């Protein structure tokens, strides 16, 4: 099974390219699902469907299905138990009900819950290709990192808390009057964590790729570069860039010639910025591409730009995180492509705490839990080189320390 995620700044053509790629996959006879996790769904409009899309896949052609994930419903299903508990605590300490409800909603969480639907579809075994039309860049990045962050909390703090709560429950409930979480709350959290961890495993696995959609404009390119680095930081494989809404050259109109020239300059930078990745070009059509055939044509024309690459095959890209042992030292390679273009070297920071490596790039941070073998070694060097962060670990017994 192949999973393709499309991300990019607002309005660049994510839904169009996602839908087109899905239509292309289905035309090959592959069982294809395209789903959107963005609350502002527009896949139905792109396909020109007049029936309202429900939260289950709706058939468009023989092999093509489309689904608008009802994030709100998924959120309620998965979060209800925990929210119920939080509400009872807030109620006890006198927080107004409406304010309390707002407090128990995590911003951006809806989209994360929408990804749980992706997991359900992936494990169903019913699909050969799943295409995901993501919400604009920033949110997607943040949300993709959540399972790991939540996992950190659940693995370390939760078991301790759970034990403490068991022991202290009778005393505390009496003294403070604050209700203690029951087992069902913990169970709901653990289940949620496990499911999110599966989503993350799916999305960072070799069969999943992220594609960045952009338009040839400076501001859009700047953001796309940052996405490339940060997506890699979180362990996702970016396998290509779609440059959309390119004005075709021709005619004698100065206005058009001006735009063609400006876009051409930026396109040159796009190629240089995403070295090693295919940059697929998609021209600005005279009308909005609507309907399966139009959309498929957009995708086919774009992918034809790099004829030798099959856009649906699993690319042979190196894993974003790999280790290499020579003698006494092990080097961890973490891909951070495009880094030099938007971040100063000193904005990359590395921290170590026991079995964890905290990697900070600009405003983004990833907590990486080290494999057991590395956790026993000490960091003896780190540098940014050749589009990666290389951290050298040496076999030298030390106590866990912060560096």
**Residues of this chain that bind Mg ion (CB under 5 A):** 14-15, 42
Q: How far is the CB of 290 from Mg ion (least distance, A)?
A: 13
* 14 sits near ligand ATP (criterion: CB under 6 A): yes
Per-residue buried b or exposed e for 120-148, using 16+ beta carbons within 10 Å of the residue's own CB? ebbeeeebbbbbbbbbbbbbbbbbbbbbb
Which one of residues 12, 27, 332, 334 is an interface residue with ligand ATP (CB under 6 A)?
A: 12
Closest by Cα among 81, 10, 82 to 39: 10
Q: Contact at 8 Å (CB) between 366 and 234? A: yes
Q: Report, in Å, the least distance between residue 16 CB and ligand ATP.
A: 3
- Residue 170 partner contact from Mg ion, ligand ATP, none using kind-dependent CB cut-offs of 5 to 8 Å: none
Scan residues 128-147 and list those touching ligand ATP (CB under 6 A): 136
CB of 100 to ligand ATP, least distance (A): 32
16 binds, among ligand ATP, Mg ion, none (CB under 5 to 8 A by kind): ligand ATP
- Quick one: which of 2, 7, 21, 38 contacts ligand ATP (CB under 6 A)? 38
216 touches which of Mg ion, ligand ATP, none (CB within 5 to 8 A by kind)?
none
According to DSSP, the residues that pair with 383 across neighbouring strands are: 390
CB of 38 to Mg ion, least distance (A): 6
Segment contacting ligand ATP (CB under 6 A): 13-21, 145-153, 195-203, 228-236? 13-21
DSSP state of 402: B
> What span, in angstroms and rounded, lies between the C-alpha atoms of 164 and 158?
10
Q: Among the candidate windows 6-14, 84-92, 156-164, 332-340, which touches ligand ATP by CB under 6 A?
A: 6-14
* Region 259-288 residues binding ligand ATP, contact defined as CB under 6 A: 282, 284-285, 288
191/154 Cα distance (integer angstroms): 11
3-state secondary structure 284-346: CCCCCCCCHHHHHHHHHHHHHHHCCCCCCCCCCCCCCEEEEEECCEEEEEEECCCHHHCCCHH
- Is residue 335 within 8 A of residue 228, CB to CB? The reply is no
| Residue nearest Mg ion by beta-carbon distance | 15
- Answer yes or no whether residue 83 interacts with ligand ATP by CB under 6 A: no
Nearest to 19 by CA among 72, 69, 67, 52: 67
Q: What is the DSSP letter of 65?
A: E
Q: Does 11 bind ligand ATP (CB under 6 A)?
A: yes
Q: Does 35 bind ligand ATP (CB under 6 A)?
A: no
Number of residues this chain uses to bind ligand ATP (CB under 6 A): 19
Q: How many CB atoms lie within 10 A of CB 295?
A: 26
Candidates 14-22, 109-117, 196-204, 358-366: pick the segment binding ligand ATP (CB under 6 A).
14-22
Contacting residue, 31, 39, 42, 172, with ligand ATP by CB under 6 A: 42
Residues 6+ apart with CB under 8 A from 23: 32, 61, 64, 292, 293, 295, 296, 299
**Contacting residues toward ligand ATP, per CB under 6 A:** 8, 10-16, 38, 42, 136, 244-245, 282, 284-285, 288-289, 298
């Amino acid at each position: 099974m192949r999973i393709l995620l499309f991300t990019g700044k607002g309005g660049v053509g994510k839904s169009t390219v996602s839908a087109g790629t899905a239509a292309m996959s289905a035309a090959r006879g592959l069982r294809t699902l395209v789903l959107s996790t963005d609350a502002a769904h527009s896949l139905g409009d792109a396909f020109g469907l007049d029936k309202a899309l429900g939260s289950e896949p709706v058939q468009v052609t023989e092999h093509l299905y489309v689904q608008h994930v009802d994030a709100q419903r998924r959120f309620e299903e998965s979060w209800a138990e925990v929210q119920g508990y939080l509400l009872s605590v807030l109620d006890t300490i006198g927080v107004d009900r409406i304010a309390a409800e707002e407090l128990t909603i995590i911003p951006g969480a809806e989209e994360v819950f929408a990804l749980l639907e992706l997991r359900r579809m992936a494990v169903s075994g019913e699909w050969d290709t799943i295409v995901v039309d993501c919400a604009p860049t920033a949110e997607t990045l943040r949300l993709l990192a959540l399972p790991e962050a939540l996992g950190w909390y659940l693995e370390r703090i939760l078991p301790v808390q759970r034990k403490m709560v068991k022991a202290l429950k009778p005393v505390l409930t009496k003294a403070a009057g604050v209700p203690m979480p029951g087992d069902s709350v913990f169970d709901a959290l653990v289940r949620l964590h496990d499911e999110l961890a599966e989503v993350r495993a799916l999305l960072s696995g070799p069969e999943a790729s992220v594609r960045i959609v952009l338009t040839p404009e400076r501001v859009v390119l700047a953001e796309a570069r940052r996405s490339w680095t940060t997506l890699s930081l979180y362990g996702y494989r970016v396998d290509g860039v779609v440059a959309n809404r390119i004005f075709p050259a021709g005619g004698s109109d100065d206005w058009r010639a001006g735009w063609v020239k400006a876009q051409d300059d930026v396109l040159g930078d796009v190629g240089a910025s995403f070295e090693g990745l295919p940059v697929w070009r998609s021209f600005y059509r005279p009308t909005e591409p609507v309907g399966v055939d139009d959309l498929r044509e957009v995708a086919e024309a774009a992918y034809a730009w790099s004829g030798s690459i099959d856009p649906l095959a699993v690319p042979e890209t190196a894993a974003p995180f790999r280790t290499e042992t020579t003698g006494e030292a092990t080097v961890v390679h973490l891909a951070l492509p495009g880094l030099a273009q938007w971040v100063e070297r000193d904005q990359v920071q590395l921290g170590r705490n026991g079995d964890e490596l905290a990697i900070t790039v600009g405003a983004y941070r990833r907590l990486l839990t080290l494999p057991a073998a590395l956790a026993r070694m000490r960091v003896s060097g780190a540098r940014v080189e050749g589009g990666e962060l290389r951290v050298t670990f040496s076999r030298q017994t030390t106590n866990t320390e912060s560096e």
